[in-house]
């Protein structure tokens, strides 16, 4: 019986040692995987921060462009008002504006001469220049 007990103890000790070696290797593999994943997470964090900075720069640039566009729209609006006022003050330009509108609607030389009181040569010139 002591011999059987001794064999049992030896088998038990060997199996415990085998399991210890197995779990040690398994733990080492898992630790290397955890280390690799940690490196990936850190790299992703760096990339995310870099992209975050780039996005912030784009936002700032877009805001600047938007402000510039608004300024330009205001300037264009003011210029349009000035042009409109100038054309309203000059009675001759009213006739030409009306003539251009009539040409756009398909008016002929005789209609321009009668309605806008333009010389025939000017009416022909306007039609040639602005008719599509």
Q: Please check the confidence at residue 46 and state whether its pLDDT lies above 90.
A: yes
Q: Which token pair is 32?
A: 């290397």
Residue ranges per structural domain of the chain? 1-89, 90-132
Q: For residue range 14-32, what is the model confidence (pLDDT) as tens digits?
A: 999 999 999 999 999 999 9
Q: What is the Cα–Cα distance from 10 to 19, expressed in whole angstroms?
A: 14
Q: Name the one residue in this structure whose structure tokens are 């088998």.
A: 11
Mean pLDDT of all residues in 92-100 = 75
Q: Does residue 94 surpass a pLDDT of 70?
A: no
| Torsion sign across C-alpha atoms 92, 98, 103, 107 | negative
pLDDT in tens, 73-83: 999 999 988 88
């Amino acid at each position: 019986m002591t011999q059987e007990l001794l064999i049992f103890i030896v088998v038990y000790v060997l199996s415990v040692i085998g399991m210890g070696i197995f779990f040690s290797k398994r733990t080492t593999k898992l630790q290397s995987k955890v280390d690799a994943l940690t490196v990936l997470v850190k790299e992703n964090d760096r990339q995310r921060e870099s992209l975050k900075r780039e996005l912030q720069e784009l936002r700032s640039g877009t805001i600047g462009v938007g402000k510039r566009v608004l300024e330009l729209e205001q300037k264009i609006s003011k210029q349009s008002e000035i042009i409109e006022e100038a054309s309203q003050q000059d009675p001759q330009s009213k006739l030409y504006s009306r003539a251009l509108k009539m040409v756009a609607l398909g008016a002929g030389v005789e209609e321009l001469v009668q309605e806008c009181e333009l010389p025939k040569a000017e009416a022909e010139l306007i039609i040639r220049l602005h008719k599509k």
